[in-house]
Amino acid sequence: MKHLEETPWWICDKDDINYCAYVDTDSNYFNAEPILLHLYPNFEEFSDKEKDSKLEGVALAYQDIITDHYDNLAKECFNVLEHRLEMKTECVIRSAYFRATRRYAQWITKQEGIEKEILDIKGLEFMKANFPPILGEFFNDILQQVLKGEEKDNIIEKIKVFKKRIIYGDISIKQLGNPTSVKKLEKYSGTKARAGEMFTEILKGAPAPVRAAIRYNDLLKLWQLDRKHNLITMADKVKWVYLKDNPYKIEALAFFDYDMPNKIKDFLDKYANRKKVFDSILLNKLEGFFSDLQWPLDLNPYKNDFNFFEI
């Protein structure tokens, strides 16, 4: 949170440390570890439940201190003696990840004094409708493991295994396609294929999903499958993937996961660019996540193969 990294002088002195981790509309999140270590030098030896209770105790104490201070604030700033200003402890968070405003994940273990076990995740990219669910589930699993303290090397190993499943075809293309709703199909469709031509003209500026949808319709007509299977039309919910080099020089292809002709399936199984699916969708998000954690992300499968050599 860039606006929290540079604290104005009227909030705290230049050499003071700002322990505020995140600010929302009506909530403030603070890193309590320094004060807990000060109050309890053996804090790290406590069980997780003991840590949660100690943290809650500190939060409740500061809640009362701030609420009392609101009396001065109301009198000096608003010239009133009676007010409804109150600070209230909302929850105890064992660990959290704050990506940006309203984009975060937090492991809540106590809420209003009641023990909980809640993973509250809001606004992160993998939750968007255009993110393949199977990749979103994997990212969610990695996120949860990080919040619960899993070792970095174990996390990276799980990513490597999942990447292999994508690359070597253990996960179907139906599951890896980008979900989207087709828009502006007519706007970017140019001249229809004429005698001696295979494909419709795609006008300049067409987004990749639109290009992919136009080419799907072209292939259905070329292979005379359009009488048995639906063409993609405006507002249809489809999926699409990038392709490797293929005889038709098609860059991307859309499809219905509930109505896929065998010939389209075979074509996708052979030419879908699985590596690009991983790199452009999942790896992109993982790199941002690891960068925030200040962890290096090296997925080289041969990284440790030559450790026995001495130089």
Say if residues 232 and 185 touch (Cβ distance below 8 Å).
yes
Q: So what's the pLDDT on residue 304? A: 58
- Which amino acid belongs to residue 61? A
User: In this model, does residue 302 exceed pLDDT 70?
Assistant: no
Q: So what's the pLDDT on residue 27? A: 87
Calpha distance 55→50 (Å, rounded): 9
How many other β-carbons are positioned within 10 Å of the β-carbon of residue 241? 24
Which comes out higher in pLDDT, residue 94 or 19? 94
Confidence class for position 300, pLDDT limits 50, 70, 90: confident
198-255 pLDDT tens trace? 899 999 999 999 999 999 999 999 999 999 999 999 999 999 999 999 999 999 999 9
Share of the chain above pLDDT 70, in %: 93
109-124 pLDDT tens trace? 999 889 999 999 999 9
Strand ranges, E, within the chain: 20-23, 28-30, 91-100, 103-111, 114-122, 178-181, 237-242, 252-255
86-111 pLDDT tens trace? 999 999 999 999 998 889 999 999 99
257-260: which pairs have CB atoms within 8 A and are 24 or more residues apart? 257/174, 257/177, 259/229, 259/230, 260/174
Kind plus residue range of the DSSP H or E element containing 74: helix 48-78
Q: So what's the pLDDT on residue 112? A: 85
Q: So what's the pLDDT on residue 8? A: 65
Calpha distance 280→131 (Å, rounded): 11
Confidence class for position 259, pLDDT limits 50, 70, 90: very high
Task: List the structure tokens of 82.
Answer: 């009676």
Confidence class for position 287, pLDDT limits 50, 70, 90: very high
The mean per-residue pLDDT over the stretch 266-278 comes to: 97
Q: So what's the pLDDT on residue 74? A: 95
Calpha distance 164→158 (Å, rounded): 10
Q: So what's the pLDDT on residue 210? A: 96
Q: DSSP character for 120?
A: E
> CA dist 301 to 161, 233, 260, 289, 298, Å?
10, 42, 34, 20, 9
Q: Mapping DSSP to helix (H, G, I), strand (E, B) and coil, where does residue 54 land? A: helix
103-107-110 Cα angle (round to 5): 125
Calpha distance 163→55 (Å, rounded): 39
User: In this model, does residue 310 exceed pLDDT 70?
Assistant: no
The mean per-residue pLDDT over the stretch 6-20 comes to: 73
Q: So what's the pLDDT on residue 58? A: 94
User: In this model, does residue 1 exceed pLDDT 50?
Assistant: no
Q: So what's the pLDDT on residue 9? A: 66
The mean per-residue pLDDT over the stretch 135-147 comes to: 96
Calpha distance 213→253 (Å, rounded): 6
Confidence class for position 37, pLDDT limits 50, 70, 90: very high
User: In this model, does residue 164 exceed pLDDT 90?
Assistant: yes
Report the number of secondary-structure helices (H) and strands (E) in the chain.
10, 8
